Amino acid sequence: MIGGGIPCPICGTRLQLTLDFIVEHSAAACPKCYSIMQFPKNDVLFEEYKKIKSEMETLKKQIKRFG
């Protein structure tokens, strides 16, 4: 993960959230102050993200066969 994650808006603790986690879960709690964060859910955008991620995995497998 680049940059150590987003900070908690309340206490500033760096959260180890990835885009994959946010796509699968629309809410998360800070492990230090227990504040709950809701992430907006855009189904069209998330479906496009999943499609592209799947294509990237397919390309990785193809590249591994050549390397």
User: What are the structural domain ranges in the chain?
Assistant: 19-66
Span 22-50, average pLDDT: 90
Per-residue model confidence (pLDDT) at position 1? 44
Q: Which SS3 state, helix, strand or coil, does residue 65 take?
A: helix
Average pLDDT, the chain: 87
Contact 13, 30 (CB under 8 A): yes
d(CA 67, CA 60): 10
Confidence of residue 4 (pLDDT cuts 50, 70, 90): low
d(CA 49, CA 36): 24
Q: What is the pTM of this model?
A: 0.61
